[in-house]
Chains A and B, each alone.
Chain A
Amino acid sequence: MSLATFKGGTHPYEGKELAEGSAIRKLDFEGNFFFPLSQGIGAPAKPVVAAGDHVKAGQIIAEAGGFVSANVLSSVSGTVKAIEPRMTANGLDSPCIVVESDGLYETAEGVGEKRDYTKLSGEEIIDIVKKAGIVGIGGAGFPTHVKLSPRFPEKVDYIIANGSECEPMLTSDYRLMLEEPEKLLGGMKVCLQIFPQAKGIIAIENNKPEAIKAVKEICAHEPNVEVVELKTKYPEGGERQLIYAVTGRTINSGVLPADAGCIVNNVATLAAIYDAVVNGIPLMEKVITISGDAVKEPCNVRVRLGASYDRILEAVGGIKEGITPAKYICGGPMMGQALFSLSIPVTKPSSALLAFLYDEVSENPTTACIRCGRCVEVCPEFLVPTLLAKAAENRDLEKFEKLEGMECVECGSCSYICPARRPLTQSFKVMRKKVAEQRRIRAAEAKQREAQAAEAKAQAENKKEEK
């Protein structure tokens, strides 16, 4: 059987062997937990508690602050200490609710209430998912209830579970598929309950044969759920690449996956959906990978959201003796964030903490582009990174847009492969922000002009009437 895949892409060092053998274990601490109001894509949530309040595990402490936004729940019971700005993974301060755990894990009302999902309507399921604060926990952090409410639900014919885990080093999804495939399948069936006409596809990269076996076994008697093996290649798990690999459909930045009939959820997100809908447990924990060549005991741990990384690292054995890691990364090596500090909290989209002895970036200084074309060859979006980089160097927003820079998915493949070590992806991120900002300003100006024109027209008409 030929493997499903996309065109372009690259094969970075996988490094999965470090942590893949470690079974998920649960870690608990007391002390302070930090819940940023903004965890993923969308508007920040609005706090509904104040300092001094007592909260329970699973209680909503901040409500979605817009259509594309998600609730924030406390993962522990205890007292709200403060709502204050604190550093998060991107290195910037962002408002957080600080809860001091009382170590009792008292749960909020309704948590743990079992439900029979087959008796629920689509709206009811989506409502539960929304209340449970679920977002895409594979990395993007897009609110899941929004994903599950497309404009034309009847057009959705594929629910795709993204089990590719194509980022190097990460193994949390792998362990999840291996250890709890029934939750993944359960989450898939809950989604199929919302979209009864759709087919379920669980897509897994073929570097995880054990996971494929476990998931296939559990899906053996599910006529409507298929396991698809993907070629191991980065970024196989990118939403657009995955949709193409599985269905042959192509979408760009202007098309929502649902408009192409696809809803893609990470396997961990599906497990969270299952827990929320069937077991009544909202999103309070997640499995993360602690790995890298500087870590003493690479592993996969289930931690409560809001726990801070330094305590997690300490609890799993810390850094190898006598070593100062050159770099810490939150997330995968290809798309993760380098960390200024480890006193930042685990958020919903966090997938890993990596610590490296060497920093391949600072040890490979940039030289001149030799026009080797490797960046063109690997770009899964068929862009010409070296030309985009020139536009970025000249701060030429127009050219950047013309070269389709806004289609870049920031996957990092071009920067990874570049023999001259050009900071390609890095400069595109900056440019994409600028273009997006410019578009926003232009849209606002256009609106203003329209309003002015309307006003002028109204005035003119008034005058006419006065005459």
Chain B
Amino acid sequence: MEGLRNISSSPHFRSKTDTKAIMLDVILAMLPAMAISVYRFGLRSLLIIVVTVGFAVLSEYLWNLLMKKPQTVQDLSAVVTGIILALNMPPEIPLWIPALGAVFAIIVVKQLYGGIGQNFMNPALAARCFLLISFAGLMNDFSCAKIGFDAMTGATPLAMAKSGDMFRYGLLDLFLGNIPGTIGEVSALALLVGGAYLLFTKVINWRIPVVYIGVFAVFIYIFGYHDLYQVAYQVLSGGLIFGAFFMATDYATSPITVKGQFIYAAFLGILTGLFRLFGGAPEGVSYAIILGNLVVPLIEKYTIPKAFGKGGRKAK
């Protein structure tokens, strides 16, 4: 026998999709939202994205280097975190804020808990919440005065809804993104295109986004508005669609069990509804998902499926 053979235990085939391919698909899925953000808010938006991604990747690279760990930046997950965080920024944010957020997301939320797959909170979202708490003023400034955006009043559709005005922007404006908001959340259309791509490529499945948005809509219809226009307005504005497709579906921080995904998504829907209807702030998606993240281990624990043939179903 010539040479050494590879001996390994079966199976001997591997699917084509690896971690990097999945992350690349997520990045592709966010392209429409990024494009719209640049279209709406100009190069400023691109700058925010570049800086955030840059700092996210750099912190992961340096962390691995300093900690003498195998390099992981090539799996592109830090890029994904960077983009999600960037898309959560208001257009006029001073660049050091997303940069700081990116470092926080990667080092504190992701790496300190053991790296990819180990973190119990979505890094980008946790960083956003950290920034919201620390720099509430800057993070809530949607005025766009400096970048010359036509700027209405600078109040987001949700903020206006909170004060009872739900008609300043039409549903079409919300759908296309003719509204103030964070740079990535404004256009429901762009996000839905990306979400459809994720569903099509099977990066995510329908359970979390559909149940999340569905439960949210039903909840606010029953407990808030009793009116379909207003429900649609609520669904299309703020970070709900972005959150439901791109953040609530984060692998590390959502349940791996099928039943768990239903429960988790329904929980997010109700929480978001509660925050938006009864909370002090107009928006509630980020906090809802972060809170949801915290109960994932619990949900998972109680939703381990019964093994095949042990489901109590008797032979016919």
List residues of A whose CB falls within 8 A of some B CB: 10, 12-13, 91, 168, 240, 244, 247-253, 255, 259-261, 324-329, 331, 333-343, 356, 359-362, 364, 367-373, 376-377, 380-384, 386-387, 403-404, 407, 410, 412-413, 415-421, 423, 425-426, 429
Contacts and interface: CB of A to CB of B under 8 A. Distances in A.
B251 A420 contact: no
Interface residues of B, number: 43
B10 interface: yes
B21 A419 contact: yes
Interface of B: 1-3, 5-15, 17-19, 21-22, 72, 75, 77, 115-118, 205, 251-252, 256-258, 304-311, 313, 315-316
B8 A371 contact: no
Given A252-B309, A324-B2, A419-B17, A333 B251 contact: no
Nearest to B311: A250
Contacts of B316: 247-249
14 contacts: A250-B313, A329-B12, A342-B1, A371-B117, A371-B252, A373-B251, A376-B257, A376-B258, A377-B205, A382-B307, A383-B305, A404-B307, A419-B15, A420-B18
Contact of B5 (A338, A412, A425): A338
Contact of A412 (B11, B117, B252): B11
Contacts of B2: 324
A250 B315 contact: yes
B309 A416 contact: no
Given A250-B311, A255-B309, A404-B310, A326 B6 contact: yes
A311 to B, nearest CB: 14
A123 to B, nearest CB: 27
B304 A403 contact: yes
A331 B11 CA distance: 11
A217 B267 CA distance: 55
A425 B12 CA distance: 11
A364 B9 contact: no
A387 B304 contact: yes
Contacts of B205: 377
The dominant DSSP class at the A interface is loop
Contacts of A255: 309, 315
A382 B308 contact: yes
A373 B202 CA distance: 11
Given A251-B315, A331-B10, A339-B7, 5 more contacts: A325-B5, A340-B5, A361-B8, A381-B307, A381-B309
A407 B9 CA distance: 19
A412 to B, nearest CB: 3
A227 B277 CA distance: 59
A16 B159 CA distance: 60
Residue with the greatest number of chain A CB neighbours at <10 A, chosen from B3, B11, B115, B307: B11
Contacts of A415: 11, 14
Nearest to A372: B251
B55 to A, nearest CB: 22
B-side binding surface: helix, strand, loop or mixed? loop
Contacts of B1: 340-343
A255 B311 CA distance: 13
* A335, A337, A382: residue with the most chain B Cβ atoms closer than 10 Å: A382
Contact of A359 (B12, B118, B257, B304): B12
A240 B309 contact: yes
B174 to A, nearest CB: 32
A327 B6 contact: yes
Most-contacted residue by chain A among B3, B12, B257 (CB, 10 A): B12
Nearest to A241: B308
Contacts of A383: 305, 307
A371 B315 contact: no
Contacts of B75: 367
A421 B307 contact: no
A3 B280 CA distance: 54
Contacts of B117: 368-371, 420
Given A370-B251, A371-B251, A338 B308 contact: no
Given A376-B258, A419-B22, A240 B15 contact: no
Given A368-B116, A419-B21, A240 B8 contact: no
Given A373-B251, A407-B308, A420 B9 contact: no
B307 A360 contact: no
A259 B308 CA distance: 16
Contacts of A410: 10
Nearest to B11: A412
A371 B256 contact: yes
A359 B15 CA distance: 13
Nearest to A384: B304
Nearest to B258: A376
B10 A91 contact: no
Contacts of A407: 307-310
Q: What are the 4 A-B residue pairs with the smallest beta carbon separation, nearest first?
A: A412-B11, A252-B309, A404-B307, A373-B256
A415 B9 CA distance: 11
A337 B1 CA distance: 17
Given A333-B11, A371-B256, A423-B9, A252 B307 contact: yes
A26 to B, nearest CB: 27
> Of B75, B118, B305, B308, which is in contact with the most chain A CB atoms at under 10 Å from its CB?
B308
B52 to A, nearest CB: 21
B22 A372 contact: yes
Given A341-B1, A367-B75, A384 B256 contact: yes
B256 A338 contact: no
A13 B13 contact: yes
Contacts of A343: 1
Nearest to A168: B13
